[in-house]
Amino acid sequence: MANPPARLTRRALIGVVPAAILASGTADAAARFVAYPGVKAVLQSRQTGLFRIAELGVIETLLLCVNGLAVEVHARRNGIYQKKDRTRSQSAREIAPVDFNRLITAAGGLDTAINGTARAAGFYALYNAMAGLSSDAFAVVPVAGDTAARLPFSTDPYFAAWSFAYDVRSGAYAFSAGDIRAHWILEGHP
């Protein structure tokens, strides 16, 4: 399978724009959730880069893919990373937010597939030189509170193992995809 173009546009990542509105209680408590299932093309073509996979209000959810494998996920608002609950989060390789930013810069920005580009060697050198964070034992805890609503990401069977949840009351936001789990308590909510 041929590699996709090095620069994937945001429109390409959105695909058919399956935006969903999450209404949990009242209209003012609702946060707009926008999914970007176009990342499927990146994963299937075994590409590397950092990609937006969803937005919850002003919170971006970013996924690091290395050769088509989901490695790490972070959430940020206006460039500020939201703190993960480490007892409820795990990833293939834990990467600190500061290093995540360094990888974004090395890739040439978000939503940029780098395999087959001049940036690939520098990106992989940086990625391979990074020490992963030590991982605490992962506690099997519910991803969000009892009032969490599952957010619709995609009806594509490819994403059957992916889930997003948001609890308006506590501000808990969670993502799960295979071996990657992330749980944040959003500061100030989206």
Q: Among residues 12, 59, 55, 29, which one has the least CA distance to residue 186?
A: 59
Instruction: Report the pLDDT value the prediction gives residue 97, as an integer from 0 to 100.
Output: 93
Structure tokens of 173?
Answer: 């936001």
Place of tokens 């001049």: 118
Instruction: Report the pLDDT value the prediction gives residue 188, as an integer from 0 to 100.
Output: 75
Q: Rounded mean pLDDT of 49-73?
A: 96
Pairwise pLDDT comparison (18 vs 116), residue with the higher score: 116
8 A C-beta contact, residue 45 and residue 3: yes
Alpha-carbon distances, residue 34 vs 13, 22, 31, 43, 107 (angstroms):
11, 10, 10, 19, 24
8 A C-beta contact, residue 132 and residue 94: yes
Alpha-carbon distances, residue 143 vs 33, 81, 86, 116, 137 (angstroms):
18, 19, 12, 37, 16
Alpha-carbon distance of 91 to 70, in angstroms, equals: 9
pLDDT at residue 94 tops 70? yes
pLDDT at residue 13 tops 80? no
pLDDT tens figures, 117-134: 999 999 999 999 987 654
pLDDT at residue 141 tops 90? no
Helix axes 97-107, 120-129, angle to 10 degrees: 160
Q: What is the mean pLDDT of the chain?
A: 81
Instruction: Report the pLDDT value the prediction gives residue 133, as an integer from 0 to 100.
Output: 52
152: Cβ contacts below 8 Å, ≥ 6 apart: 18, 20, 33, 35
Alpha-carbon distance of 94 to 74, in angstroms, equals: 10
Whole-number percent of the chain with pLDDT over 90: 63
Nearest 5°: phi and psi at 119? -80, -15
pLDDT at residue 92 tops 80? yes
Going by the DSSP 8-state scheme, the letter that residue 25 receives in this structure is: S
Buried b (16+ CB within 10 A) or exposed e, 167-179: bbeebbbbbbbee
Alpha-carbon distance of 118 to 68, in angstroms, equals: 19
